Amino acid sequence: MSSLIQNVKTCFQSVFQYPATHCIQAPGRVNLIGEHTDYNDGFVLPCAINYQTVVVASKRSDNVVRVVSVDYGNEVDEFDISKAITFSQDKMWSNYIRGVVQCLLEQGYDIQGLDLAVSGNVPQGAGLSSSAALEVVIGQTFKVLFGLEISQAEIALIGQRAENEFVGCNCGIMDQMISAEGRQDHAMLLDCRSLETQAVAMPNDVSVVIINSNKQRGLVDSEYNTRREQCEEAARVLEVQALRDATEEMLNAKRSDMTEVVFKRARHVITENARTLEAAKALANDDIEQMAKLMAQSHASMRDDFAITVKEIDSLVEIVKAVVGEEGGVRMTGGGFGGCIVALVPPRLVDFVKAAVEAQYQSLTGLEASIYVCQASQGAGLIK
């Protein structure tokens, strides 16, 4: 991360002609299990990763926010927080920032202008939540610089709201919560209804391996929204507030009242919630074999019932599974339709996993995968 920080500092100095006073980071995330459960008020088990978005900033005494993006060729955006904040058509990256500032103002937080420079190394468009990291780091920056009394969960909610209402993507709360509240060397069991969290220690003898299929994620937004609607439809038929409140028995009893597709979508969510709670226990007990079983079931459920995997992702999972067997778990992670898989692998097998992916993935799919060996990392905060 140190070169990332250095670059942002240098950029700030060269654009604004003075040094920044503060440096703040927020991480991307990988979800170990609990997919498409967050917007059903259910459970998720993500961890923050050691890929971050970093901001350096200084307070201004007026109401102007000036932002420079290192990753977009030092492009500068500027807006006045005492006037209506509008959507930027030409600097899409800035809308995450504009949206968060807008939500902070709407919530009545007492803030002023800032100069800030931003850069990140969370791969974009890979399903590792680079946008949540950006939203959260902006909320965190305002918290730190203006001494706001705002909880980490509120920062997450503001990030989600910015994304839902300003950027226009209907995501759940998982990505922002783990970016805001992650703990070093721990995964986080999150109850997406109460926002209660429980830190679950990652076993020592397991590496978190993320493999990006580099399959362009097509149709993500429309498919995501369709899934949400199907889940809401199932909840209506089952007469529950959200699928979190339903059991498999309840679902089976009403099977004939819904389409086969809606039934399968609901079955994924209901079983995935149960698996996620089991997985938190398995991880806490260092029971990798059980964790591996749950991850395999989760993948099958995403593939067969929720229909969000693509063939590239399924082949990656099979390649890795053939190497790790029962000693490690592997599944697709994130929203679906491309993106990444996550594997929990004994460290001695990591090189074999890499070798197998390098040897097989490209010839099967024509694509080259990117492999990241990660650490479960700390959530957003000031870098001293």
Which parts of this chain interact with ligand GLA (CB under 6 A)? 31, 35-36, 38-39, 171-172, 174-175, 334-335
Q: What is the CA radius of gyration of the chain?
A: 21
Nearer residue to ligand GLA within complex by CB, 175 or 181:
175
Q: Return d(Cα 235, Cα 227) in angstroms, integer.
A: 12
- E-strand ranges in the chain read 22-33, 43-59, 64-69, 75-80, 114-120, 186-191, 197-201, 207-212, 329-333, 340-345, 370-374, 381-382
Smallest distance, ligand GLA to C-beta of residue 38, A: 5
**Identity of the residue numbered 170:** N
Nearer residue to ligand GLA within complex by CB, 144 or 171:
171
> Given 115, 175, 185, 287, which residue is catalytic?
175
Smallest distance, ligand GLA to C-beta of residue 243, A: 13
User: How many Cβ atoms are within 10 Å of 88's Cβ, its own excluded?
Assistant: 14
Q: Are 244 and 40 in contact (CB under 8 A)?
A: yes
Nearer residue to ligand GLA within complex by CB, 130 or 377:
130
3-state SS of 290-359 is HHHHHHHHHHHHHHHCCCCCCHHHHHHHHHHHHHHHHHCEEEEECCCCCCEEEEEECHHHHHHHHHHHHH
- For the question of residue 175 being annotated catalytic, the response is yes
Q: Are 101 and 81 in contact (CB under 8 A)?
A: yes
Nearer residue to ligand GLA within complex by CB, 39 or 142:
39
Q: Are 371 and 12 in contact (CB under 8 A)?
A: no
Nearer residue to ligand GLA within complex by CB, 35 or 305:
35
User: Active-site residues: which are they?
Assistant: 175
